[in-house]
Amino acid sequence: MSNISSRLDACTAQLCQTGAPFEILQDGDNAFRRYKNAPSNMRELVDVGRNHGDQEFLVYQQERTSFKQFFEKVDALGHHLLNNESLLKGDRIAIAMRNYPEWMIAYTAIISIGAIVVPLNSWGSSDELCYGLEDSGAKYVICDLPRLQLVKPLLASMDCKAIVAREKSRDEQGVQYLEDILAKNSGHPLPMVAINPDDIAQIMYTSGTTGRPKGAVSSHQNICQAMYSFEFHATCSAMANPSAIEKMFAGGFAPCTLLSVPLFHVSGCYAAFLLNLRGGRKTVMMYKWSPAEALKLISAERVTIFSAAPSMVLDLLRHPDFANSDTSSLFSLGGGGSACPPSFKDTIETTLDNAYVGTGYGMTESNAICASCTGEAYFYKSSSAGTLSPLVEWQTRDENGQVLAKNETGEIWLKSICNIQHYWNKPDADKATFDGKWMATGDIGYLDEENFVYLVDRAKDLIIRGGENIYPAEIEACLSLHPSIAEAVIIAVPDERLGETPGAVIRVRANSEINVTEINAYLSDKLAAYKIPSQVWIRTDEMPRNAAGKVLKSELKRQYIR
C-alpha cells in the first residue's frame, strides 16, 4: 500500500472513531452507516451560517452581501410563505432562474420551513421547465423574468403562483416580486416548523433514458449526511496533505470560491453554495462563464478555490491572459461533472505551482457522494475518482447480478444513507434502480486493491458535454416526431474542450428531404441549446443493427467519426 493510501486510512480511522467529530454509527449489519454528529434536518444544517454575522458571503457583480444580510432575506421570504401564502408543510416550491443571490435565498428559505424545494434546470426549454413544474405539482415557482416567460402559459392551468426575482415588468399581471416581498417582511423572524430527518426536502430533476427527466427525491437526512461527508473528505484530505495545507495558509488569503457552475446541480448547490454557507467562506458568483472575466474576478477578489467541469478549468488555464493575470491566490482546483482528460493533470502541472487538485465521483441520485480524490492522492492515481466515503458500501455486479471481486469491472451499485429515497411518480424507474438498500448507478467501473474507484464507461449512452448530462433518447424522441425523419440516432462526438458533444445520424423518409439548418431550427425551441447536435449526418439507407434489431452505435461511430 502506498504512503498516501496508508495516511488516508489512518486519518479516516482517527476521524471516524468513537467520540471523534465524524464518528460513524451503524445499527446492525444491514443498516446504513451514518455520521452521529451530522445535522438532523436542513434548517439545522444551514443555520450554522448565521454564526458568521457581518462577514462577507456573496459577491455578485457590484453587489456584496454579508451572512447576516443573507439570512435577513431568508427569514423575510420564509415568513411570507408561511404566514401570507397559506403554505403547508410538504408543498413543492420550484426555483427556475440563473445563478443569482436570490436563488440561494429562495433555496435556504424553502428547506427551512418544511416545504420541498424543486430546483429546475434554468438552461431548459419551455417544454422542459413546464414538465418539471407539472410533474412535481409545484404550488409556487420563484423565477427570473426570462424563465417566467417560458412557464407562464402553464401557471394558470395548474394553479401555480409565480414570484419573480430581479427584473420587474409592467406587462406582467398576477405575479409577485421577490424584492417587494423582502421589503414588506423585513425584520420578521423565520417561523419555527417541526422537520423530521425523513421528511422530503428536495426533488432535483435528472435526465432519464426515457427522454423525460426524473425527479430524484431526497430527505433532509439524505442531504445532511451528504454535506457532512463533504466536510469529512475536506478534513481527511487536509490531514493527509499537511505540507499542501501549510503552503495554503502561508499564502495569507482567506478561503474564497469562484462559483461558475449551475446551482441547480448538486455540484454547485452542495459543494459550493451550502459548504460555503456553513463554512463562512466568501462566494463570488459569475453571471455566465467567461475565462477572461474569471481571471479578473480571481485577481480582484483573491479567489482561492475554483471547481468546475474539466473543460472550464482548462479554458481558464489555457487562456491567453492567464500568464499576465494575478492568480497568486488561486490554490485549489477541482474537476467534476465529467471525467478529467489526461490533459487536465498535465496542464495544471505545467501552469500552476503547488496546486491542490481534486476530483470525485457522485451523481444526483447519490446526492453527489461516493468517492473523492484530492492533493497527493489525485497525483498518485489521477485517472481514478478517488477513495470511497466512509458512508458508502460498494458493489460491482456482472450482467447476471453476481457481485464481483475487486479489480473486476461491472455495473456499479451503491448502498448509502445519502442515496435518494426514490424517483417522484416513477415506480417503474424505482424497480429498475433499487434492489433493497442498494442502488444501481448504470455506470461501469471497478474498485482496486487500495479502494480507489475507477470509471470505465458511462451509464448506457449518456453523453457528458462539459459537465452537462445529455441522454440521447430525449433528442432521438424529439427528432423522430419530424415528418421528414424516419429514424435518428445520437452518438457521442469527441471534443477537446467539452469532452464530448451529441452528434445526430438521421435517416430521412422516402421522398423527403431535410438539411442541417432545418434540423437545428426544428430543435431550437424544443431542447436546451447544449443538447442541439454539434454535427449532423444525413443518410437514406438503413442503420446498422445487430441480430436483435438494436442499432449498432459503435458501427455508426466508426463510419462517421474519424
- The CATH number, out of the four listed (1.20.1560.10, 3.40.50.980, 3.30.43.10, 3.40.50.880), of the domain defined by the range 65-206: 3.40.50.980
Report CA 550 to chain centroid distance, whole Å. 32
Q: DSSP 3-state assignment of 131?
A: helix
Q: Where in the chain is the domain with CATH 3.40.50.12780?
A: 3-39+219-392+441-457
Cell for 371? Answer: 468517492
Of 97, 466, 462, 528, residue with least CA distance to 308: 466
Superfamily name with CATH number, domain 463-560: ANL, C-terminal domain (3.30.300.30)
Q: What pTM was computed for the model? A: 0.85
Q: What is the mean pLDDT of residues 542-550?
A: 64
> 94 by DSSP, 3-state: which?
strand
Helices (H), 206-301: 220-240, 242-251, 266, 275-279, 291-301
Report phi then psi at 227, rounded to 5: -65, -40
Candidates 333, 334, 299, 285; CA nearest to 57 is 285
Residue 338 confidence class, pLDDT cut points 50, 70, 90: low
How are beta strands 56-60 and 63-66 bridged, if at all?
Answer: antiparallel
**What is the rounded distance in angstroms from the CA atom of residue 47 to the CA atom of residue 195?**
14
Mean pLDDT over 47-64 rounds to 98
pLDDT digits (tens, 9 = 90+) for 147-193: 999 999 899 888 899 999 998 887 777 789 999 999 999 999 999 99
Q: How far is CA 33 from CA 27, 154, 364, in A?
A: 8, 43, 19
Three-state SS annotation for 475-529:
HHHHHHCCCCEEEEEEEEEEECCCEEEEEEEEEECCCCCCCHHHHHHHHHCCCCH
Lookup: cell for 309: 467541469
Q: Say if residues 441 and 433 touch (Cβ distance below 8 Å).
A: no
pLDDT at 180: 96
Confidence class of residue 347 from pLDDT cuts 50, 70 and 90?
A: confident
What burial class does residue 399 get, using C-beta atoms within 10 Å of its C-beta: 0-12 exposed, 13-18 middle, 19+ buried? exposed
**One-letter amino acid of 391:** L
Beta bridge partners of 495: 499
Per-residue pLDDT band for 206 (boundaries 50, 70, 90) equals confident
Q: Is 104 helix (H, G, I), strand (E, B) or coil?
A: helix
Range(s) of the chain covered by CATH 3.30.300.30:
463-560
Q: H helices of 302-446, where?
A: 310-317, 342-351, 376-380, 427-433
Q: Tell me the CATH architecture of domain 3-39+219-392+441-457.
A: 3-Layer(aba) Sandwich (3.40)
Grid coordinates of 366? 447519490
pLDDT per position as a tens digit, 22-38: 999 998 888 999 999 99
CA 481, 487, 491 angle in degrees (round to 5)?
A: 110
